[in-house]
Amino acid sequence: QVQLVESGGGLVQAGGSLRLSCAASGSVFSINAMGWYRQAPGKQRELVARITSRGSTNYADSVKGRFTVSRDNAKNTVYLQMNSLKPEDTAVYYCNLNYGSTTLSDNYWGQGTQVTVSS
């Protein structure tokens, strides 16, 4: 079983920065990608940023140029550096780990960490 432990959320003023971390522990293998999703009240969970095991990244349009996802493969840890934060970035941020093959994969999720950006 894999556990994802997130840290780094909190309250910040608009224009500020936060860095989220997510460490995976347990029987971690065949990782395809790790990344971050978020869910604001009354909205669906959406992809924020992800990075594959080969280092390819993709971002939601709303965070491009402001957020950076990175990964330490040796530590099975993924980071999300969030700069120039906006009130609309307020949400619960969930760490995601996708594993398996290209034809059959599954996901693990973290418990979520709250990010609140005040105006």
Cβ–Cβ under 8 Å, residues 9 and 114: yes
Kindly tell me if the per-residue pLDDT of 1 is higher than 90.
no
Per-residue pLDDT averaged across 79-102, rounded?
A: 95
pLDDT for position 93: 98
Radius of gyration of the chain from its Cα atoms, rounded to whole angstroms: 14
And the tokens for 82?
Answer: 């969030």
Report which secondary-structure segment, H or E, holds 119.
Answer: none
Beta bridge partners of 82: 18, 67
Kindly tell me if the per-residue pLDDT of 101 is higher than 90.
no
Cβ–Cβ under 8 Å, residues 83 and 67: yes
pLDDT for position 30: 87
Per-residue pLDDT averaged across 102-114, rounded?
A: 91
